Amino acid sequence: MQEDSGRELTDREAATWNTKLPDLVQELKKVSYIAAPMVTVSVLQYLLQVVSVIMVGHLGQLTLSGVAVATSLTNVTGFSLLSGLVGGLETLCGQAYGAKQYDKLGIYTYSAIFSLALVCIPVCVLWLFMEKLLVLMRQDPLVALEAQKYSLWLIPALFGAAISKPLVRYLQTQSLILPMLVSSFVVLCCHVPTSWALIYMLHMGSTGAAIATDWYSRLMLFMLCGRSSAWRFHLQSCLKWWSLEVLVLLSGLLPNPELETSVLSICLTISTLHFTISYGLGAAASTRVSNELGAGNPHQGPEGSFGRHVSFHHRTYHHKHSALLLSSHFGTGL
């Protein structure tokens, strides 16, 4: 009797799985349609920072160390803070779009822009005194001075991020990935020659790298605004970003701060490229789930999450496989 009940339960589970399998496959296709270009967008946007670090690295250890420390501190106190605060738009705008309440999309987006702009004001005050702050943190005075110069020229980019980050979520929740993909590609193609000209031809050094970042954050903003027709503090998002950047700051306390900070910054810059892939997958899943919830289809949410998990495990396998291949050439430390 118990065996018959067990067989019936197993057959029922198999039938349920066979019924849901086509829906899961279809949902995986929808997630992939958003995730693939979103991953590309994340990588292209992060490559702006990678290009600046690479070009500044040819100017010497002191300049590279100053830029690395400034990048870490500005990320911790500014850009990661904005990313955490704007995270709520993925849910709010996604549900509003799914429920076809299109007027709320603009209300949420403009509210987020205004709120982030207010947050930028105290952050800028902190950046103005970055040299003194780094000296109090027992960083090398020369590195602190170089970091101060770089961070001051990044202030316009901070206000640009306060506008562009909400616009990215605004487009993302509507699955309008193509405008972000095109704008990110154009900005990166223009950023490389401009950075080279400012740093090497005009001999502006790290200041030229910061100015190039400022100008092309505005170009990105202009291109996103041309496509545009309740924020909440996400502590978890900020802590993940801070944990890496604090390591760069702590490396400044080592006996040879210029060398140690430069090497660690390069390693973290390369490794963070893998994070941008999972970020794109997560953004795609968040868009699908919030759209379905807003449309009143709560049963579709878990299927979108399942599709994201399948994509994530595939990405994790690829990353680990790449690390094993690289370890044979560069040592077992990988």
Residues in the chain, overall count: 334
Residue 28 lies in a domain: no
> Could you tell me the pLDDT band of residue 230, with boundaries at 50, 70 and 90?
very low
Q: What is the mean pLDDT of residues 223-243?
A: 52
Question: CA triplet 168, 51, 152: central angle to 5 degrees?
Answer: 75
The predicted model scores a pTM of 0.64
Residue 127 lies in a domain: yes
Residue 185 lies in a domain: yes
What is the per-residue DSSP string for 55-121? Answer: HHHTT-HHHHHHHHHHHHHHIIIIIHHHHHHHTHHHHHHHHHHHTT-HHHHHHHHHHHHHHHHHHHH
Most confident of 97-106, 196-205, 263-272, 295-304: 196-205
State the residue for tokens 């210029």: 258
Can you say whether the dihedral through the CA atoms of 298, 176, 270, 28 is positive or negative? positive
Residue 17 lies in a domain: no
Residue 263 lies in a domain: yes
Most confident of 110-114, 213-217, 218-222, 251-255: 110-114
Contacts of 83 (CB under 8 A, 6+ apart): 165, 234, 237, 238, 241
257 vs 299 pLDDT, higher one: 257
Residue 15 lies in a domain: no
pLDDT in tens, 121-177: 999 999 999 889 888 888 888 888 998 999 999 898 899 889 888 888 888 888 777
User: What is the total count of domains within the chain?
Assistant: 1
Rounded-to-integer distance, Cα 213 and Cα 193, Å? 12
Mean pLDDT score across all residues of the chain: 72
Residue 284 lies in a domain: yes
Q: Which of 278, 229, 254 is nearest to 107 (CA)?
A: 229
> Could you tell me the residue range of the domain that residue 210 belongs to?
34-330
Can you say whether the dihedral through the CA atoms of 183, 184, 190, 195 is positive or negative? positive
The answer to whether 195 and 55 are in contact (CB under 8 A) is yes
The answer to whether 172 and 38 are in contact (CB under 8 A) is yes
Contacts of 147 (CB under 8 A, 6+ apart): 66, 67, 69, 70, 73, 130, 131, 134, 139
pLDDT in tens, 210-223: 888 877 777 766 76
Residue 122 lies in a domain: yes
Kindly state the tokens that stand for 243: 């944990």
Least confident of 5-14, 43-52, 266-275: 5-14
What is the DSSP-derived secondary structure letter of residue 202? S
